[in-house]
Structure 1
Amino acid sequence: MAQDQDPWAAPGKNNPGQENQPTDKPKHNDEQSPPDLEEAFSNLLKKLGGNKSRSNNNGSSNGAPIHYGKFLPIAALVGVIVWGASGFYTIKEAERGVVTRFGQLHSIVQPGLNWKPTFVDQVIPVNVEQVRELKTQGSMLTQDENMVKVEMTVQYRVSDPAKYKFSVTNADDSLGQATDSALRYVIGHMTMDNILTKERSVVRDSTWKALNEIIKPYDMGLNIIDVNFQSARPPEDVKDAFDDAIKAQEDEQRYIREAEAYAREREPIARGNAQRIIEAASAYKEQVVLDAQGEIERFQRLLPEFKTNPTVLKDRLYIESMERIMAKTPKVMMDGGNSMTVLPIDQLLRNKGAQTNTAPASAPQSAVNSQPVLTHPTQSTPPSSVERQGRFN
């Protein structure tokens, strides 16, 4: 029968009389046309899927195959977007990015948001502001063939990220080896006593200089900031003796600082006293000069009187001089003609004070404790003219 259908026939061939049913094979025109990408992608999926794809196609409602080729541009676009978004990265403020393209140095990027082609470029962040620290220690031989254990710390910073990463294999390890070499060279040219006592600063400065000379040819992109000489210890057998020597050295420095502090404290006081003495001497000088000028002025005024009556003026000057001299002495001289009596007024005053404290207030005063009265010679009893002439001549 023509109406009978073969259940095992392929889709679209159940009714052989229907010629207009769609088929899987495209119609070939006489002219050559470009290949259909969707059809090629669908055929590829069919080959990969095998029987599963055919079973899914048979189980579809309309019996037509699913065309996956239309999703290919979308998938490609999504892949491009994901690839582009994965290339964004951020470099911190204290870092610089070393960009390598296929393993070779390409450029240095600055802090901020940047972009790189994924799977093509690789970015290595390097901190250029961090102060790094490297410690080295070991037992070393000195110039006088003694063993000493020293410790030293080197502080450095990365100055050139590209040279830091590509000049040497490992810049930090190379710097450690250079530091150990420089320290051994310096220790080997110094005696143990100097290393442990008075030339510790020399070890630091010499090691810093030698280290810079060693790493200069390698151009590792490192900048040595400081070198600290931590400690130096002698062998245990002589450690106590060297500790005493170091302590004595420290005491010496402490005494020197104390003496300098004392000198700084006393120097302003001494300068002040010297200035005060200079000012007092200047004032005394001015006073003496002014007194001399006053005396000159006074004698100039007395000169006319002296020319008029020289004897009277001589007596007057003599009396004034004796009053001025006797007012400053505790002894009184009484001129009794050919003899002169000296009364010890100071002893009489002391005896009088002692007896006043011991004796009752009503006790009579002795003639010895009575205070003598100083009488100056007058014109009625003038001194001999020979003595006066001797004084002024």
Structure 2
Amino acid sequence: MAWNEPGGGNSNDQDPWGGRRGGGRQGPPDLDEALRKLQDNLNSLFGGRKRSGGDGGAGKGGGVGLLAIGFGLLAALWLYSAVYVVDEQEQAVILRFGKYYETVGPGLNLYFPPIDRKFQDNVTRERAYTKQGQMLTEDENIIEVPLTVQYRVSNLQEFVLNVDQPEISLQHATDSALRHVVGSTSMDQVLTEGREQMAGEVKERLQRFLDTYKTGITVTQVNIQSAAAPREVQEAFDDVIRAREDEQREKNQAEAYANGVIPEARGQAQRIVEDANGYREEVVARAQGEADRFSRLVAEYRKAPDVTRERLYLETMQEMLSNTSKVLVTGEQGQNNLLYLPLDKMIDSRAPAASAVAPSAQAGAAEPASRATVDLQRDLRSRESR
């Protein structure tokens, strides 16, 4: 029989809602009574006083269950925050009680907050920042120099622990290194071809500063862009640059002219030297030949004086008469002398003489040998007259 059927049970039995049936009363459960029981359970859980008339065992069991649920939620949240993943390009530095504990590589890892603190960052990514400022050069000119610095974190432990704000320190060190290099360089070098050398010097000095501070940063590249003068004096700087370009152009033209004239003059000088050497060798050889010829002629004359004398006389007369344009024909006893001018021969001999003129130096070289021959002939005639 159901509990609420008439006559189905003892009037002292309780219904499922905790109330007693009395006087044949039937109806829905009492909501106020259920709310009171829930309030008693919450009070017992948080240390409050329990209402009188409630079930103490039921309140105690409900408080323990809620407490276990709360601890379970807290443990799940802690575990969720304690487990972390480090990528291939990252590293993590763990501090335990504020002191360095370890550096963690890629993979799934666990740490224990709040006693541990974790600093995780990318150690392979190239980072960059741009800076521009007015600098004073070595020759006391003000110019604006823009540059870009590329860097990466090479030591995460030093990057996290040694310097409070390492990237701000990097910017300050860059400013110091750039001003030092620009201050020791002339304006021409900064504006023209000296930028690459300046970039290397800035990189070297900047890396030395960062290593001294132990920032854990490695500078990979420093790019100095085109420097320019301040806007207030830009026109004057442009005039100076144009004047220097004109100066360089004039120098290039002068060097090109010198490169064309000097080799030509050297060639002419070398040709003159070679001609002089050739002339010297020719004169020496001709003189040696004439001397040898004269020596042989003397030897022949000693063997046959009459024949040699006659031959020398005929050769001399032939040489003399072949070089003159006048012919003298004499009669007997010096009478009826006739001067004959062969005009046709004179005209024919003039053209070859004009086209092939012998150098005066060669004629001068042959003169000593001819003079020796004439002296020998004169000596022979004097002997005949005796």
TM-score, scaled to structure 2: 0.47
Please state which structure has a larger fraction of its residues in helix: 2
